[in-house]
Structure 1
Amino acid sequence: MTNKDLKLKAIQIRMDLLKMIHRAKTGHTGGSLSNTDILTVLYYKIMNIDPSRPKWEDRDRFIASKGHSVESLWCILADRGFFPKEELETFSQFGTRLIGHPNNKVPGIEMNTGALGHGLSISVGMALAAKRDGKGYRVFCLMGDGEQAEGSVWEAAMAGAHYKLDNLVALIDRNRLQISGTTEEVMGLDPLDEKWSAFGWNVVSLDGNSVDSLVEALEAVPTHAGKPTLILANTVKGKGVSFAENVPHWHHHVPNDAELERALDELSAQLEAYQQEGQVRL
């Protein structure tokens, strides 16, 4: 996909996840909107995966450590063909596989996650296994910024640098909001880039809602042999929906009928604006 294709796809995924959350009457809306660009670039451009072979031994691995923001991931996995798109209609319903956190009964999900602070440790283990088995696959781990208050994150960070895991890429969805307020009010994190650098990681800070910046950075890793990479993706919580952006209430807010209609109108306008820039493949 070209970068323009990716931008269009991210808008479509935002529309899908909003409709899914509205239908289910539950979901983590703000964080899913903020991480959509990250996941779109990973799943449509960067990662070496094959939806027809979800257990392919040489596939790149993805761990959603911030598992509560699973809605964007479900929509992308369905769109990529890991499972039928119709199954999205069962999200958070009784008996569904598509629960409110990643569930490894679903093709494309490596581990059940959502208890914050565990995903990077899992990812370090996977990346270390690849090194010791002489495999070329990479491991990508998406964390939340509120999650950085978990001590286990920093134990894993030490291990990743110690074992020189340059096949490991961690990404932080740095939207600066968590369920009870701003990250700096709840547990100050800044200077977050300097902390990760001090732990021995190659740190790249960028606009996490810029497809162009994400593609450039992720195509370049590993930029330092023998070092894991940390992408500090500065994002906007609720990205793409003007009245949800940077609003803490939208962490777990379900749009009502009027809000959904307004949000879809805004996203449709964005989609149309991109399409008018030139003919693109959707």
Structure 2
Amino acid sequence: MDIRELKAKAVQIRMDLLTMIHRAKTGHTGGSLSNTDILTALYYRIMKIDPARPKWEGRDRFIASKGHSVESLWCVLADLGFFPKEELETFSQFGTRLIGHPNNKVPGIEMNTGALGHGLAISVGMALAAKRDGKAYKVYCLMGDGEQAEGSVWEAAMAGPHYKLDNLVGIVDRNRLQISGGTEEVMGLEPLEEKWASFGWHVVSIDGNDMGALVEALEAAPAAPRKPTLIMANTVKGRGVSFAENVPHWHHHVPNAEELELALNELTAALELLKQEGRVQ
């Protein structure tokens, strides 16, 4: 997909996840909206994947370490055909596979996540296995910024450069909000980029809701040989829904019928604008 097509796909994924959360009456809305652009760039442009062969050995691996923001991931996997899109209607219902965190009983999910701080360590192991087995696949790990307060993140951060894992790409969804407030009030993280660089990572800071910037950074990785890459994706929590953006309450707020209608109207307008831009070009 080109950049305009990726932008349009991200809008559609946002519409799908909001509808799904509203139907289920549960979900992590704000973080799923902030990471939608990241997932769209990865799955529709960057990663080597095959929905028909989810266990293909040569596939790139994706770990959603911030597993609570799974709604956008479920919508992406369904849209790509890893499982029927109709199954989204069962999200968080009794007996479903589509629970509130990644579940490796679902095609396309590498590991169960949810307890924060574990995903990067697993990703280090996967990347190291690729190196030792002579495989060419890359490993992408999406972390939350609130998750950066977990000590296990920094143990893994030491291991990545130690093993010279230039096939490993960490991404921080830096929306500066977590369930209990702003990250700098809950547990100050800054200077976060300098911390990652001091651990030996090649650090790239971008606007994580700018599709062009995301594609450029992800296509360039690894940008430094024998070093893992850390992309600091500066995002807006609740991105795409004006009344949800940068509002802590929307961390796990479920849109009511009126809010859903307003949000879908905004996103439909954004989608129409992208279509008009395409026709002009």
Q: TM-score, normalised by structure 1?
A: 0.99
Alignment of 1:42-61 (within 5 A): 42-61=42-61
Alignment of 1:157-176 (within 5 A): 157-176=157-176
- Give the alignment's Cα RMSD to 1 decimal: 0.7
**Counterpart residue number, 2:275:** 275
Deviation track 1:48-78 (CA, whole Å, cap 9, x = no partner) reads 0000000000100000000000000000000
Give me the whole-angstrom Cα distance separating, in 2, the residues matched to 1:224 and 1:179.
Answer: 34
Give me the whole-angstrom Cα distance separating, in 2, the residues matched to 1:273 and 1:3.
Answer: 14
CA shift, 1:279, in A, is 4.2
Deviation track 1:94-150 (CA, whole Å, cap 9, x = no partner) reads 000000000000000000001000000000000000000000000000000000000
**Counterpart residue number, 1:180:** 180
Q: Does 1:128 align with 2:107?
A: no
Alignment of 1:58-207 (within 5 A): 58-207=58-207
Give me the whole-angstrom Cα distance separating, in 2, the residues matched to 1:191 and 1:261.
Answer: 39
**Letter of the 1:155 counterpart:** E
**Counterpart residue number, 1:15:** 15
Identity within the alignment, % = 82
**Counterpart residue number, 2:216:** 216
**Counterpart residue number, 2:228:** 228
**Letter of the 1:218 counterpart:** L
**Counterpart residue number, 1:265:** 265
CA shift, 1:278, in A, is 1.6
Whether contact under 8 Å (2:4, 2:278) holds in the other structure is no
> Structure 2: which 5+ runs fail to align?
none
Give me the whole-angstrom Cα distance separating, in 2, the residues matched to 1:65 and 1:23.
Answer: 25
> Structure 1: which 5+ runs fail to align?
none
Give me the whole-angstrom Cα distance separating, in 1, the residues matched to 2:138 and 2:16.
Answer: 28
**Letter of the 1:66 counterpart:** K
How many aligned residue pairs are there? 280
Runs of 4+ more than 2 Å apart: none
- Aligned partner of residue 58 in structure 2, secondary structure: coil
- Aligned partner of residue 68 in structure 1, secondary structure: coil
Give me the whole-angstrom Cα distance separating, in 2, the residues matched to 1:12 and 1:58.
Answer: 29
Deviation track 1:26-58 (CA, whole Å, cap 9, x = no partner) reads 000000000000000000000000000000001
- Aligned partner of residue 278 in structure 1, secondary structure: helix
**Letter of the 1:239 counterpart:** R
- Aligned partner of residue 277 in structure 1, secondary structure: helix
Give me the whole-angstrom Cα distance separating, in 2, the residues matched to 1:130 and 1:192.
Answer: 28
**Letter of the 2:6 counterpart:** L
**Letter of the 2:12 counterpart:** Q
Give me the whole-angstrom Cα distance separating, in 1, the residues matched to 2:244 and 2:72.
Answer: 16
